[in-house]
Amino acid sequence: MESDVLIVGGGVAGLSLGAALSGHRRVAVLEAEEAIGHHSSGRSATFSHFGIGNEIVRSLTAASRAFFQQPPNGFSETPIARTATALFVATDEMLPTLDKLAEVMKPHAPHIRRVGAEEMLALFPPLRTGTGKVIAGLVDTEGLRLDANALLQGYARKIRFSGGEVLTGARIAAVRAEGGLWTAVAESGERYAAPILVNAAGAWADGFARTAGVAPLGLRPLRRTIIIVDPPDGADSSGWPFVKTAVDDFYILPEGGRLAASPVDEVPDDPCDAQPEEYDIALAAWKVEEYTTLAVPRVQHRWAGLRTFASDRTPVAGFDPAAPGFFWLAGQGGFGLQTAPAMAEAAASLILSTDWPEQLAALGISPHVLGPERLIHG
Ligand SMILES: Cc1cc2nc3c(=O)[nH]c(=O)nc-3n(C[C@H](O)[C@H](O)[C@H](O)COP(=O)(O)OP(=O)(O)OC[C@H]3O[C@@H](n4cnc5c(N)ncnc54)[C@H](O)[C@@H]3O)c2cc1C
């Protein structure tokens, strides 16, 4: 099968780029698993907020909001995002970090404000407040809760509607570059060829590059764990905010009538079908009891996923300087959903050689900022 652009990886990165290119180029997205979004993209906390990442990540998050709030006509039958409150909390010793967070968030979320115990408890009744516990917070009433499934399906539908392909069960095992064409061979023996090959393989991105004879960028998959616990009997937790500590050691948010909590672990792992470790599950439960008045007699459900980072924690989009036609779309860390629309727009403009998106330029993001060269030359 031949196309203009072959995208390896059917997570949010590959699918969002495929959708941005569809209608302009013949696109084929190849996903190893039987379903799209099987790995990181289907295991996230699905929240978009400015309390994560560096300034480039915050700018990409800001540039993606319009897409989530007003997706293109017919993109999805159900909303892909809804406004939800984010509450960043601090104990006495975390206060300097909370101040710093307010400073870096303000340019993107000028409406954020400091709140005290009373207001925090009105928003999130189980919060443990008082001496030695949480004493201050920062509230952002304009966070976004994303629907990952609706988002992924919307992107896939757009690709197929424009004549492109999204193929599952297509694990690429070998890659050859010859005569300006990349040929990817699946385990089944099926062959796919295109002049442009996009590496959107998530945690496998460095390994996939090696398969294609391209030098890796030093991307690191880090495992993160989420547990599901019950709210107190009779409590309606559906309107509770996303609550995160300023120092990044705990978060909790409503999830399907229950609560999802994470110890914000970052455990180095190999690219794999990530599974939660007993230690991290216990740590998550302990932190729920440490930061809230909730008791965790039982963990109802748990999962883990990989968040894959470049050394500077900025995502990567750009052609490899040493391998013509080989395009990197990787290193989306813990912000791959909330930055996907802007990253896809940036990547599509590089692949289509169109003008760099004005919105990104205005936010100080140039191709150079996202390009892989920065990681190759140290
Ligand atoms: C616990 C957790 C919480 C998170 N919370 C948030 C959040 O609240 N907000 C947010 O924005 N982000 C969050 N993230 C981060 C987000 O999930 C990731 O940044 C994003 O999903 C990365 O997307 P991706 O497409 O690069 O990777 P993936 O979704 O992993 O997709 C890569 C795909 O490539 C495929 N692949 C690999 N090798 C091959 C091959 N050889 N052939 C064919 N296919 C191949 C894999 O099967 C995989 O499906 C979270 C992540 C985790 C783990």
Would you state the pLDDT for residue 89? 98
Would you state the pLDDT for residue 192? 98
Contact between residue 1 and residue 28 where contact means Cβ atoms under 8 Å apart: yes
Task: Tell me the CA–centroid distance for residue 272 and ligand 1, in Å.
Answer: 11
Percent of the chain predicted with pLDDT > 70:
99
pLDDT mean across residues, the chain: 97
- The model's pLDDT over 39-76, given as tens digits with 9 standing for 90+, comes to 999 999 999 999 999 999 999 999 999 999 999 999 99
pLDDT tops 60 at residue 81: yes
Would you state the pLDDT for residue 377? 62
Q: If one looks up domain 83-143+220-309 in CATH, what number appears?
A: 3.30.9.10
pTM tops 0.95, yes or no: yes
Task: Tell me the CA–centroid distance for residue 41 and ligand 1, in Å.
Answer: 4
Radius of gyration, alpha carbons of the chain: 21
- Measured from CB, residues less than 6 Å from any atom of ligand 1 are 8-14, 30-33, 38-41, 43-47, 170-172, 200-204, 208, 224, 226, 305-307, 332-338
Mean pLDDT confidence for 155-179: 97
Would you state the pLDDT for residue 239? 96
d(CA 336, CA 25): 24
3-class SS letters over the chain? CECCEEEECCCHHHHHHHHHHECCECEEEECCCCCCCCCHHHCCCCEECCCCCCHHHHHHHHHHHHHHHCCCCCCCCCCCEEEEEEEEEEEHHHHHHHHHHHHHHCCCCCCCEEECHHHHHHHCCCECECCCCEEEEEEEEEEEEECHHHHHHHHHHHHHHCCCEEECCCCEEEEEEECCEEEEEECCCCEEEECEEEECCHHHHHHHHHHCCCCCCCCEEEEEEEEEECCCCCCCCCCCCEEEECCCCCEEEEECCEEEEECCCCEECCCCCCCCCHHHHHHHHHHHHHHECCCCCCCCEEEEEEEEECCCCCCEEEECCCCCCEEEEECCCCCCCCCHHHHHHHHHHHHHCCCCCHHHHHCCCCHHHHCCHHHHCC
Task: Tell me the CA–centroid distance for residue 336 and ligand 1, in Å.
Answer: 7
Task: Tell me the CA–centroid distance for residue 181 and ligand 1, in Å.
Answer: 27
- The domains of the chain are located at 5-46+149-219+311-376, 83-143+220-309
Please, what CATH class does the domain formed by 5-46+149-219+311-376 belong to? alpha beta
pLDDT tops 80 at residue 378: no
The ligand 1 atom at the shortest distance from the C-alpha of residue 15 is 25
**Torsion sign across C-alpha atoms 313, 317, 319, 323:** positive
pLDDT tops 80 at residue 30: yes
d(CA 78, CA 214): 40
- The model's pLDDT over 129-156, given as tens digits with 9 standing for 90+, comes to 999 999 999 999 999 999 999 999 999 9
Would you state the pLDDT for residue 250? 98
- The structure tokens listed for 351 are 């692949």
d(CA 38, CA 90): 34
